[in-house]
Amino acid sequence: GSITRVLGEQKFNYADILCPEDSVLFINDVVIWQQFGDGRIVADGGEVRLNEGAIVYGGTLVATDHPDTDLRVDRPARLDAARLVGDLDIRELGKLTVSAEVPRGDVAIGLELDGNITVNPGVSTSVSPARLETMGSCSIVGSGQILLARESFRSQVVGEPEDVLTLGPGIELTGIGEINADMEIQGRFEPGLGIGRLMASRPIAFASTSTFGFEIGVNGESDEFDSTSSVSLAGDLELRFADGFDATVPSVFQLLTASDGVLRRFDSISGDSPVAPLITRVVYDSSGVRVGFVCPSDANLDGVTDLEDVNAILTNFGTESSLGDLNGDGAVDLADLNIVLAGFGSDC
């Protein structure tokens, strides 16, 4: 075993820098250029630590599946147009910045991911945050997961205003932390570790290729996504029942809140369904989205069909409101009123 420190102003790597079992490699306050010869930094049973302003341009960082491999960021570091193979942890006080100063064709790719990034795996009792940051607008592409593993501010995605971090179709963002960056989601998005809460303070836009995973459990529990900004929806809403939940009686769950507004709607709904005659309805308003398992005639999602449902139809008549559009044809009209009248007095 050995401890090696890579220091200095600039280094050029054209081959493999290997960190084997029982070894530690510190990459501190240095710029490493790898893109010219497709250089690699490989953690193969050892520890590779990016620290104190280290910047790696291009090439590949590899964390093998050796049980003792540890590739991590302990203090601020940056990857620019690089590739990550395997798993990387951003520890407490660590910040990994992703940027695309080095061009890769016409697309600003900051990181190509073939593995997983865990933001604050919680290996200590420290309450200090860990952060994944975008510097300028860029994309994380490839295949893998970004896990915000600690609650609230302890696991964050951050960026300057109007710097958009795009997560490609093969990237999943999940967990219980905070999103404090403008973001476009093209892949999978799922709040919670199991059932849990994910928060955002900046605009989030979902692409048509995206999937929003929403988990529902017993005793009224469900995932939560709460934003103090805006959320623009598209793609698929995937519903999953957990912990023995079975939608046999009318129930309603808050899918998300957005203080600055909900824009657009999901393109499709998939996953688990309630027991007939209940149906799944998704209701959008200016500041939130609810998912209901209700009677087909229950316009306001309160569990019964009565005069309040008639009023909901009449109030929204001639609009595209999801509250009154019972048949899903995009308009509140006589067909929706007839559904309410046919089910009047019913509680399924």
pLDDT tens track for 113-124? 999 999 999 776
What pLDDT is stored for residue 107 in this prediction?
A: 74
Residue 38 has pLDDT above 90, yes or no: no
Mean pLDDT over 295-309 rounds to: 92
| pLDDT of the residue at 105 | 64
Q: What is the mean pLDDT of residues 46-75?
A: 95
Pair type for strands 10-12 and 155-159: unpaired
The stretch 47-60 carries a mean pLDDT of: 93
Instruction: Tell me: pLDDT of 86 over 80.
Output: yes
Q: What pLDDT was estimated at residue 152?
A: 82
Confidence of residue 1 (pLDDT cuts 50, 70, 90): low
Distance CA 154, CA 177 (A): 7
Q: Is 248 helix (H, G, I), strand (E, B) or coil?
A: coil
Please name the amino acid found at residue 33.
W
Band of the pLDDT at 347, cuts 50, 70, 90? confident
**What number is the average pLDDT over the span 137-157?**
95
**Of 95, 180, 75, 185, nearest in space to 139 by CA:** 185
- Per-residue exposure over 112-141, b if at least 16 CB sit within 10 Å of its own CB, e if not: bbebbbbbbbeeeeeeebbbbbbbbbbbbb
Q: What is the mean pLDDT of the chain?
A: 93
Tens-digit pLDDT profile for residues 153-210: 899 999 999 899 999 999 999 999 999 999 999 999 999 999 999 999 999 999 999 9
pLDDT for residue 64 is more than 80: yes
Cβ neighbours of 229 (radius 10 Å): 16
Side-chain-facing half-sphere of 128: CA atoms under 13 Å: 12
Find the mean pLDDT for residues 121-138. 87
Q: Are the CB atoms for 102 and 80 separated by under 8 Å?
A: yes
Q: How confident is the model at residue 256 (pLDDT cuts 50, 70, 90)?
A: very high
* Bridge pairing between strands 262-263 and 77-80: unpaired
Helices 307-315, 334-342: crossing angle, 10 deg rounding: 180
